[in-house]
Amino acid sequence: MFWIDLITFSYHVQGYDMMYMDKAFTVITIFLFKIKITSFTFITMNFNAFLSSILISFIRIYRH
């Protein structure tokens, strides 16, 4: 279940679904909630990559 949401999150981050940005933000919210209930080692291993993906997505959104 976590990885399915992660795939959906990555799909929206890449900007393929710009018409449904509200859904993308919902996915981000669910993703951030699931970070809290995941183990600490998993967060430290992957949080930087996920955070950079979020920042790249926001940069792409605001440049358009």
- Number of C-beta neighbours around residue 5 at 10 A: 14
User: What is the rounded average pLDDT of the residues 29-43?
Assistant: 61
Q: C-alpha distances in angstroms, 57 versus 1, 37, 49?
A: 23, 24, 12
pLDDT band (50, 70, 90) for residue 1:
very low
Q: Please give the Cα distance from 52 to 62 (Å, whole number).
A: 15
Give the highest mean pLDDT range of 6-15, 23-32, 54-63: 54-63
Q: Which residue did the predictor score with more confidence, 57 or 11? A: 57
User: What pLDDT is attached to residue 51?
Assistant: 74
- Total domains present in the chain: 1
User: What is the rounded average pLDDT of the residues 38-47?
Assistant: 56
Long-range Cβ contacts of 41-44 (<8 Å, 24+ apart): none
Domain coverage including residue 58? 2-63
Give phi and psi for 47, each to the nearest 5: -65, -40
